[in-house]
Structure 1
Amino acid sequence: MGRVSVSHDKNRDLVRLGAVVRAHRVALGLSQEALADAAEIDRSHMGKIERGERNVTFLNILRIANALDRKPSVLLAEAGL
């Protein structure tokens, strides 16, 4: 099987994880820029993560979870992963 370009074919798992990240961010009253700064991730990359357009590395999941004051396992479980 050939490599799938996430930018052209959104993966449902990535979309669900992005939605969970966005929901937690909004619940905390954080802007996308504030979350990106707290997680030390570029703001435009954070936007792509939230839209499910980027494959998230394990380290970035850890950074995002820490910035949201959540365990990575909580974010993954809420995304059904």
Structure 2
Amino acid sequence: MEQKTLGRRIREERLKLNLTQEKLAEDVDLSMAYIGQIERGERSLTLDNLVAVANRLGVTVDYLLSDSITAKDDAEYLILRQLLNGRTKEERALAVNMVKLMFGYLDRGM
């Protein structure tokens, strides 16, 4: 995870609310220095602190992390993920079973 990207997103959301680092730190029971280090990407947050910051900023943890997680997967894997995105659990299970069946035939040389 890219700490600088997460820190930048937190800073942007804090500024949208016209909060100082001091006020945010006070509201989530952290030190102002720690908030500054997070925003500069020098420190990471525990899950509990990330949730507290997200709640105070009125955003989801997913939103804060959305630009800070970098995919290192190959293109085919990303395409499969996109195809499965938004499908029901049953549809995803059916797709996985179809791929397993297809690979089973390929492995047997058929």
Instruction: State the distance in 2 between where 1:41 and 1:62 align.
Output: 13
Instruction: State the distance in 2 between where 1:51 and 1:80 align.
Output: 13
SS in 1 for 2:41: coil
Partner of 2:38: 49
Question: How many percent identity over aligned positions?
Answer: 35
The amino acid across from 2:44 in the alignment is N
Higher alpha-carbon Rg: 2
Instruction: State the distance in 2 between where 1:80 and 1:49 align.
Output: 13
Q: Which has the higher contact order (CA 8 A, sep 6+)?
A: 1
RMSD, aligned α-carbons:
1.2
* Structure 1 residue runs of 4 or more that deviate by more than 2 Å after TM superposition: none
CA offsets 1:5-64 (integer angstroms, 9 cap, x no match)? xxxxxxx70000000000000111100111111111111100000000002111111011
Instruction: State the distance in 1 between where 2:5 and 2:11 align.
Output: 10
What 5-or-longer segments of structure 1 have no aligned partner?
1-11
1:28 aligns with 2:20: no
Equivalent residue for 1:65, pick from 54, 68, 81: 54
Larger proportion of helix: 2
What 5-or-longer segments of structure 2 have no aligned partner?
70-110
